[in-house]
């Protein structure tokens, strides 16, 4: 598609969404919604913030499973970079925080960016896998609105396809050949050749990181992340004194993630409230209460994560310079250290030292 045409379509879509949100906002009793927010339970809000951060930590541990195999064993680094990326995702469009995660870990570890990108691609792959499992479970275990029930057959078929693809990926991992990448890089003389070599490195790294135990661990952590998101919705509703059944919280989470595949606005502000209200309305949740709960959810998801994520970003940005200074200092000290060790060795062996 032509680049200008694609940009025009995106702007038209964004404009249509904004108009729709304005029309929707005119139907809300904002005084009532603000009253629910102002009288929210602080302990339950704290619990919602806690389980929301736990969801991010689950994702950080999931990424660490692949980073450790790639040569970055620090669990703390994986979690901090994940939090930083999540915070930046709230202020950047198109999930720009994920690209920052690759840059952060590459700077901190010195590992090739293609390898770090492969670990991130594998880690993020389990988000939709966990979502499809949650969707299949939801439509089987609960009576969800028709807008979600119609996804039952596609979700079940997707689950079968996902299982087949993961099995094939594990089988293909046995044929990964790092030597082919080294040869491609050695013969790359043009930008296109270097680009193909980069993609080859990405593919080989992704296949070499794939294993049954890692995939199983990543899947379990993904389900933990999704479950804690459901709990975040439930605690936020309880904090706003809005009785919301488990099915309503699950339906809201599923609908929000189905409707927000593309970030229309930074942090999905506005559109999130629209989808949340529509998803919970069949469960008897008044629109004003649904708006209050959705505003609480976005507040506790965006503000604490963004503040902490932005605060962590400079640590990774400047870490590369610190590592370079340390390496330069080590190189400067290396001759003196080796000379001292040589003299000590000659003294111990009884041989005269050379001036």
CA 75 to chain centre: 15
What pLDDT does residue 107 have? 85
Whether 281 shows a pLDDT value over 60: the answer reads yes
Q: Which residue has the higher pLDDT, 204 or 50?
A: 50
Pick from 31-35, 98-102, 128-132: least confident: 31-35
Residue carrying structure tokens 């209460």 = 289
Give the mean pLDDT of 241-267. 77
Whether 351 shows a pLDDT value over 60: the answer reads no
Give the mean pLDDT of 272-287. 88
Structure tokens at 78: 């994986």
Q: Where are the domains of the chain?
A: 27-317
Give the mean pLDDT of 336-344. 45
Number of residues that make up the chain? 355
Residue in 51, 131, 54, 62 with CA at minimum distance from that of residue 297: 51
pLDDT in tens, 8-26: 765 665 566 555 545 545 5
What pLDDT does residue 289 have? 86
What pLDDT does residue 56 have? 96
Q: Which of 74-78, 113-117, 239-243 has the highest mean pLDDT?
A: 74-78
Whether 296 shows a pLDDT value over 50: the answer reads yes
Cα–Cα dist 94/327, whole Å: 36
Q: Which residue has the higher pLDDT, 169 or 116?
A: 116
pLDDT in tens, 191-247: 666 655 555 555 666 677 778 889 899 999 999 999 999 999 999 999 988 899 999
| pLDDT level of residue 152 (50, 70, 90 thresholds) | confident
Cα–Cα dist 271/283, whole Å: 20
Q: Which residue has the higher pLDDT, 256 or 62?
A: 62
What pLDDT does residue 184 have? 47
What pLDDT does residue 325 have? 46
Whether 78 shows a pLDDT value over 70: the answer reads yes
pLDDT above 70 coverage of the chain, percent: 64
Whether 338 shows a pLDDT value over 50: the answer reads no
Q: Which of 91-100, 152-161, 318-327 has the highest mean pLDDT?
A: 152-161
Structure tokens at 99: 């690209």
Q: Where are the alpha helices (DSSP H) in the chain?
A: 3-25, 30-38, 42-70, 75-89, 96-109, 113-141, 146-149, 152-173, 178-186, 191-209, 212-239, 246-259, 271-280, 287-349
Give the mean pLDDT of 140-156. 86
**Taking CA 68 as the corner, what is the angle to CA 230 and CA 173, rounded to the nearest 5 degrees?**
90
What pLDDT does residue 247 have? 92
How far are the Cα atoms of 144, 145, 155, 256, 274 from residue 149, in angstroms, in the given order? 6, 6, 10, 15, 19
Give the mean pLDDT of 158-173. 79
Residue in 95, 351, 347, 54 with CA at minimum distance from that of residue 221: 54
Give the mean pLDDT of 83-103. 80
Whether 354 shows a pLDDT value over 60: the answer reads no
**Average confidence score pLDDT of the chain:** 75
């Amino acid at each position: 598609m032509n680049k200008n045409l694609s940009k025009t379509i995106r702007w038209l879509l964004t404009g249509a969404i904004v108009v729709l949100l304005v029309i929707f906002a005119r139907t809300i009793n904002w005084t009532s919604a603000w009253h629910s927010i102002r009288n929210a339970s602080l302990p339950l809000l704290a619990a919602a913030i806690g389980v929301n951060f736990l969801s991010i930590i689950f994702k950080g541990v999931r990424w660490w499973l692949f980073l450790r195999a790639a040569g970055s064993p620090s669990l703390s680094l994986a979690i901090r970079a994940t939090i930083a990326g999540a915070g930046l995702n709230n202020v950047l469009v198109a999930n720009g925080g994920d690209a920052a995660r690759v840059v952060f870990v590459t700077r901190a570890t010195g590992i090739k960016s293609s390898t770090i990108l492969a670990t991130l691609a594998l880690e993020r792959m389990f988000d939709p896998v966990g979502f499809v499992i949650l969707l299949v479970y939801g439509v089987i275990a609960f009576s969800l609105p028709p807008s979600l029930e119609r996804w039952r057959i596609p979700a079940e078929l997707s689950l079968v396809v996902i299982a087949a693809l993961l099995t094939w990926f594990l089988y293909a991992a046995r044929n990964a050949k790092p030597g082919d990448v080294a040869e491609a890089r050695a013969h790359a003389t043009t930008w296109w050749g270097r680009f193909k070599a980069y993609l080859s490195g990405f593919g080989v790294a992704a296949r070499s990181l794939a294993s049954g135990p890692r995939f199983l661990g990543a899947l379990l952590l993904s389900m933990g992340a999704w479950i804690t998101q459901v709990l975040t919705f439930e605690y936020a509703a309880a904090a706003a004194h809005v009785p919301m059944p488990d099915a309503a919280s699950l339906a809201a989470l599923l609908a929000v993630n189905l409707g927000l595949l593309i970030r229309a606005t930074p942090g999905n502000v506005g559109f999130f409230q629209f989808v949340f209200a529509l998803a919970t309305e069949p469960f008897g949740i008044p629109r004003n209460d649904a708006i209050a709960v959705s505003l609480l959810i976005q507040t506790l998801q965006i503000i604490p994560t963004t503040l902490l994520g932005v605060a962590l970003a400079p640590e990774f940005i400047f870490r590369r310079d610190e590592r370079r200074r340390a390496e330069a200092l080590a190189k400067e000290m290396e001759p003196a250290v080796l000379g001292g060790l040589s003299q000590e060795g000659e003294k111990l062996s009884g041989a005269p030292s050379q001036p």
